[in-house]
Structure 1
């Protein structure tokens, strides 16, 4: 079992002092540690894929720490919820299948949208931070110098920087027993602090798949089969535009159904679909870390569990109806009316 300190309540003072000496906006969470082969053999770093076979100078790999690594690792994979009782309640719709006229055997079932007054819940999505492990060197006494780092680069100019940094430090500390910071340019890194969005009009599905899966330099990006699957889902609700967002290793695709109704997904992780409500033009300029920290009055997160497509369909039908948009869903029918 690991015996190191598990985490911090606040950013350590020595790291804050260190940050003041950086003259750039991007920051990495990265630290080195000297590890013996005995510690590796004991299974102390097994959760990171560090074993006798991988303990070889020059080896580099990434991993999302398993939830069993600790409380921060679990939040990193699942997210968490904060009930905001300091804010007024708002109306939210819940969906339930009910028998028509009280007799399902005779009349069948229908889906009812039930309004309820609820507290705002800050549903913090999973960060899905990846850890990079690099076996950097072997020392004369046989021990190994290993570098651990969070692959995402943090932007000091974002409003969530302090929270993001504390979370990343705790994740690295919890999983490895060490934590530190460095300027973003101090290593070869991928800058993921902001997203570059492109908009595409609806059109031929094959053409859309091709355009949404290729990067600007023409190289391949997301898996075409997965993109097609999402497009076919979005197509049922007749979007006005399709979206592609690129930021470092992140690749998003989405669809815009109204100025204040957008659905998108991160294809790198593919664990949930997000439906945003609000000013999309303004929201799309936010860094990823801020975009996914809106209150649940501003977005819904639909986790990819059994039946999630039906959950998305019910949500979209209600949201489009509230905006005065009627659609007819059919294999070869595309009709959209606003009134």
Structure 2
């Protein structure tokens, strides 16, 4: 997966497609431009095993990586600190003098964060060379701040970074079909991954509404749709769960209170219509109100699951 940003603050969205316990690297295949940059920062032969800690002069991330940093503790009283300054002057007789003096100033106490000291390392497969940042990462075990730092170090130096398999192959992200219009205006992801996409949408809602909406969406997800699609408003609009073999398409809302719509046929054209057009034209196969019995109505759409526990 390619990351092409100036800097990131967290890495959850970039790791959501990776299984817990999987080993990954943050790195890049060595292309011509990457090779040129590696030689610029001090690499010599670009042979397997060659490594270095990037110069702190490359930018703030590299500076922290090599030197560490102090974090102001603004909840504490200010203290007197000193900085040295070279001072020279002439006396009344025209004689020059100089010395280094300590200049006092007030500042907040600092909490010192040691340097991560992440090295860039050249690694290889049978037919390609890569540069990776630091040690391999284990999803679910490596601390997020370590992963974020490795990614940001690569972004600062190379303007991009990739998440690579343990065997250095690129990760392919599960497909999400992004539609160019609202879905009922107003890929295939397992529930554990799908839930991560919904979290930012629901974070400002009350705990009660979150529980209700998550329960509805998880209920449909358990029947294993082959894809889902979103509109230009992202998950704030309707989410389409596609069951292609059944010619069945469920439109469920990530908003509290809206009904569930079930369609057969051309879901793309149907999703461009407004709810008023859908209802007035009686174009939906079912319209389920979110009341007691809703889960039973959903279950009846999938007779093969009748009497079976859905995992």
Higher Rg: 2
TM-score scaled to structure 2, two decimals? 0.37
TM-score scaled to structure 1, two decimals? 0.34
Greater share of strand: 1
